[in-house]
Amino acid sequence: MSTDEVVRKLRGVKPGRIKAHAVKIEDVYHPIKEAFATVTGADVLDFNTNTARNAFKRLGFEVVRLSR
């Protein structure tokens, strides 16, 4: 997974509801697991939030946690 691939696959995708963690792609916040599943093709039940957070952070994307 590359930065360009992430941007390309998420461009124009309407983000779902953010529960706790999000990744910012081109000024749009996406639910972290939904974004990771879209980019990788993995089922959201096959990985945890930390896997997605670490992958996006390694690529230099802003990852946030919403406080409740």
Coil, helix or strand at residue 1: coil
Decide if 21 contacts 46 (C-beta within 8 A): no
pLDDT (tens, 9 = 90+) of the chain, 68 residues, equals 899 999 999 999 999 999 999 999 999 999 999 999 999 999 999 999 999 999 999 999 999 998 76
- Cross-strand partners of 44: none
Q: Residue 34's domain spans which residues?
A: 3-65
Give how many domains the chain has, as a whole number. 1
Residue in 57, 55, 54, 64 with CA at minimum distance from that of residue 30:
64
> Could you give the angle at which helices 49-58 and 32-40 cross, rounded to 10 degrees?
70
